[in-house]
Structure 1
Amino acid sequence: MVVGWSIGKRMTKELVIDALETAVKRRNPAPGLICHSDRGSQYCSHAYRELLQKHGFLCSMSRKGECQDNACAETFFHSLKVEWIYGEPLKSRYQMKQEVREYIEVFYNRQRLHSKNGYLSPCDFERVNQSSFLLSA
């Protein structure tokens, strides 16, 4: 499930820090959370890595030139581009932000079926697994 995201003019450390802080505010994840990324300088920055460490999150960073290492992140961005953005005449950054919000918050997290989740949406998968955990606890 995608829980933290941000849009800006450039891919900076501030942008990825904002996305991570949004995820923390929305979900308050426990230490041990895995954060997937590529090897971009924004993810290698001291500020971003310190934020991960502060919350006890683990960094899953692909090896140089190996996009397969972070297939889940690569797959998400491919799906966003192919399923939602390509072919859409976007006139402004505001419109782009609205489209990305719609894709992530409405379609991807709540409606899109994922084969790795037993063909459930991320929200349904989380709900089923949380219920299973509560019943077995």
Structure 2
Amino acid sequence: MLDLYDRRIVASLNSKYIDSKLAIDTLALALKKHSPKPGLLLHSDQGSQFASQEFTAYCKENAIVQSMSRAGCPYDNAAMERFYNTFKNEYICRYYFKTDEELNLGTQDYVFVWYNYTRPHSYNGGIPPSRVRFR
């Protein structure tokens, strides 16, 4: 999950399945770490995991407003897709992972050490997301 303000990844989990459980677990992790105010706007594509009854109910229970991309519109979710492209090119495609645990630990290191705190971002004028000050 990516914060559109500074392009910081606020939560990331891996799973063998892209389902509502993964979406809920990732959102729960983001909420636990960052405690946003009620009315948080959560943008996603129209994937079945985000449109599921379980996920939409979880959002309502936590005062989260869902916003979904229009069908077939790649621009609505461009920031997240850009992160995936960067993640795959800078990390996933460069290494071989023997175990799920190796992949999970490496992903957490890449995202929460390199990407958020060290890697320059053109969106932020060359500043890593963690160093962006409130505008």
What TM-score, normalized by structure 2, do the two folds share?
A: 0.86
Aligned to 1:89: 96
- 1:43: how far off? 0.6
Q: CA RMSD in A?
A: 1.5
Aligned to 1:67, the other structure's residue is in SS state coil
Aligned to 1:135: none
Give the letter aligned to residue 36 of structure 2: P
Alignment partner of 1:107 out of 102, 114, 130: 114
Residue 62 (1) aligns with residue 48 (2): no
Counting aligned pairs with the same residue, the percent is 34
Aligned to 1:59, the other structure's residue is in SS state strand
- 1:36: how far off? 3.0
Alignment partner of 1:73 out of 70, 75, 80: 80
Aligned to 1:11: 18
Are residues 83 and 34 of structure 1, via their aligned partners in 2, closer, same or farther at CA, if it must alter by over 3 Å? farther
Are residues 103 and 36 of structure 1, via their aligned partners in 2, closer, same or farther at CA, if it must alter by over 3 Å? farther
| Runs of 4+ residues over 4 Å off in structure 1 | none
Q: Is the 8 A contact 1:5 1:18 kept in 2?
A: no
In structure 2, stretches of 5+ residues that fail to align are 1-7
- 1:34: how far off? 2.9
Work out the CA distance in 2 between the residues paired with 1:53 and 1:107. 33
Greater relative CO (CA pairs within 8 A, separation 6+): 2
Aligned to 1:34, the other structure's residue is in SS state strand
Greater fraction of residues in strand: 2
Aligned to 1:8, the other structure's residue is in SS state coil
Aligned length: 128
Q: Is the 8 A contact 1:60 1:70 kept in 2?
A: no
